[in-house]
Amino acid sequence: MVRLFLFVAMGLLHSVTSALDVDEYTEVQVIIDEMVKDHHYDPHYLRGLFAQVELQPKVVEAITRPAERLPWYRYQKIFVTESRIKGGVLFWQENREALHRAEKEYGVPAGVIVAIIGVETGYGVNKGSYNVLESLTTLSLLYPKRSKYFTSELKKFLLLVREEDLEPFSVKGSYAGAIGVPQFMPSSYRAYAIDFNGDGKRDLVHDVEDAIGSVANYLRIHKWITDGPIIDNVQYSEGLDRFVTETLNPSATIATMVEAGLRVDGRHALDTKANVVKFEQEDQSYLYRAAFANFYVITTYNKSLLYAMVVYELSQHISRRLQ
């Protein structure tokens, strides 16, 4: 552990890997004991598995500089691009039947499903090259800020590979351990992945149909409202800023906004809940929008207002190209 922090200070983090000494990390033995007790794993199998793990400090470096820290105008330029719009149109055309079925069964617009997959992996092109077992083990042990979360995901991953009959070291993903076309963390894979093509297997790595259905299922379970609004224009007025919030759930109502003199475009019932969100533009002005419940459902996929906004914008661009 001391060596890791020395490498960080010296700026050498990205170049260092080290084999895991199971006896050096009591946390690993705790994980093994819990998996044996709660899920009947063979302790010798788990010790042997972890002994093959090489810690990857570069994933700690990567997770400390997420794109979500960028200002809106820079973040938007990464994801709402001409190539990504064209890729979304092509993905939609190639998977029209599965997208139509997912929209019909789960009530989630095809454009939103396509945009999420486009933002996550460029429509399945960039699913990640990190060894998921090594990434999760590294973050569990060497990233104290979120050690509890990544330890939980590591245990879920061990269960996932057993349930889906996967070879633990063959599963690749993001530096944070997200897997497949839709980049589900192991807990989400186990809870929300579905066999959408009926072949008897939930495969989010190779099967685009399963990925499409699983994204729709995820959003529906997180309370997506069929035909509900996502974002609408709000006209600037003197009382606008008091409705601006970065909380990840709608807390005001259209009625309270109207009473304060705001004007929200579209037809919305007065008891509809919404917040005002604002995004920094390149000229240092701000883009204001009214964000509704479905906007915040998207943030359950990635807890970021920027993320939800690029998903919405990309979905709109793609949908318009197909009209």
Active site residues: 120
State both tokens at 320.
């318009």
In degrees rounded to 5, what are phi and psi of residue 200? 85, 5
Query: What distance in Å separates the CA atoms of residue 298 and residue 317, rounded to the nearest whole number?
Result: 17
- In a 10 Å sphere around its CB, with 0-12 CB exposed, 13-18 middle and 19+ buried, how is residue 227 labelled? exposed
Is 53 within 8 Å of 20 (Cβ atoms)? yes
Query: What distance in Å separates the CA atoms of residue 215 and residue 193, rounded to the nearest whole number?
Result: 8
Tally of CB atoms within 10 A around 45: 12
Cα separation values, 269 from 58, 84, 262, Å: 49, 35, 15
Q: If DSSP codes are grouped into helix, strand and coil, which group holds residue 184?
A: strand
Nearest by Cα to 264 from 241, 247, 288, 286:
288
State both tokens at 136.
């999760």
